[in-house]
Amino acid sequence: MKDIDLYNKRVLIRVDFNVPIHNKIILSDSRIQASIPTIQYALNKNAKVILMSHLGRPKEGQYDATLCMKPIVEYLKKIFYKNKIHYSDHIKPVTIQSGELLILENVRFNIGEKNNDDKLSKQYANLCDIFVMDAFGSAHRKEASTYGVGMFSKIACAGLLLSAEIKALTHALKNPKRPMISIVGGAKISTKFKLLNTLSKISDTVIVGGGIANTFLAIDYNIGRSLYEPKFIPLAKKIRDQNNILIPIDSRVGTEFSKNSPAFVKQPSQIHNHEEIMDIGDASIENMSQIIKQAKTILWNGPMGVFEFPNFSVGTRALAKNIACSQSFCIAGGGETINVIHMFNIKNKISYISTGGGAFLEFVEGKKLPAIQMLEYMNK
């Protein structure tokens, strides 16, 4: 984006404004805030700026008032109060002046968005002289507003946020300072099996938590009613036996999945059939904390347990605080990870927080994201 003359040009920016909204109130503005530098840069260059984003999962072709862009338009009016802001519910060319903003309606209202329809892609491209892809969180989707539009635009380039995401992730993955550790939590090993495979090859240690850790524990132990995936035990065993995987040596267990359930710290061999693991135990926290303190690079994706329940947030909180106090380069990504960061107020202590969920995982897994493929093709 910085290599292109934007002056007086119609600049269409694909942003990621997919934020939680309830009763027209934005509950988290982190993704919008992450897009501001790119928007401001284009305005400073006296461009005619057009923004488009998806929001939620509406039925394609149908307007849904609860998923319209109006709350975001009102939010942006407060930030860009010096600039005239327009709001359009169609994708026909609209005349705006240099230094003005036009926000388009939710792209997922448009028929053909999800299947990357050529007709819709050309309509988007006709709106602009320059297309800027800046929605890293949607870069893994081959859709009309993330991929097709770029293929039909005169000029397509990366925005500041997308460039920063790629730079930070590449820095963490290609030539990390060592020791490098990866922390992988969450509910299902099936959704992160490829991620674990990739990270185990480049990390000195992979720390696992949540339901993922439970599947590793289930290799050798009866873990009661704990969440795990029996079908993936053989694959988990293969990863464990071939790599340095740090598995919890004790756990916080409860007798029901409830925030009111008392927590008991137990070793895996002590867990009864009516109990379920919902957090890591104190000895595991100590082991993992020592590894984190020695790390020079940390890649963090996922909590250690049911951090939403106070009795079972101990492990996630401890690791979050240790990561925050670490002198390492830490990159964190994924929706639950970002929730943890905000819950424990450590945002300013993390080197880089990725705005992507699925895109973050796929990039780390080594997949080529469609939006990046498109930009490389258009800039050969």
**What is the set of active-site residues?**
31, 188, 335, 358
Q: Give the count of beta carbons closer than 10 Å to the beta carbon of residue 269.
A: 9
Question: How would you classify residue 302: left for phi > 0, otherwise alpha for psi between -120 and 50, otherwise beta?
Answer: left
Tokens of 314: 């101990």
Distances, alpha carbon 97 to alpha carbons 156, 234, 289, in Å:
21, 61, 55
- b/e code 82-95 from CB counts within 10 Å (16+ = b): ebebebbeebeeee
Element of type H or E holding 124:
helix 118-125
**Tokens found for residue 7:** 């002056």
Amino acid at 43: L
Radius of gyration of the chain (CA): 23
H or E segment and range at residue 88: strand 85-88
Q: Which helix (H) or strand (E) holds 317?
A: helix 314-325
Q: Where are the beta strands (DSSP E) in 155-201?
A: 155-158, 180-184
Is the distance from CB of 210 to CB of 279 less than 8 angstroms? no
- CA–CA dist 278, 328 (Å, integer): 28
Structural contact between residues 228 and 218, judged by C-beta atoms closer than 8 angstroms: yes
Q: Give yes or no for a contact between 309 and 315, defined as CB atoms under 8 angstroms apart.
A: no
Q: Integer distance in angstroms from the first to the last C-alpha of the chain?
A: 15
3-class state of residue 207 by DSSP: strand
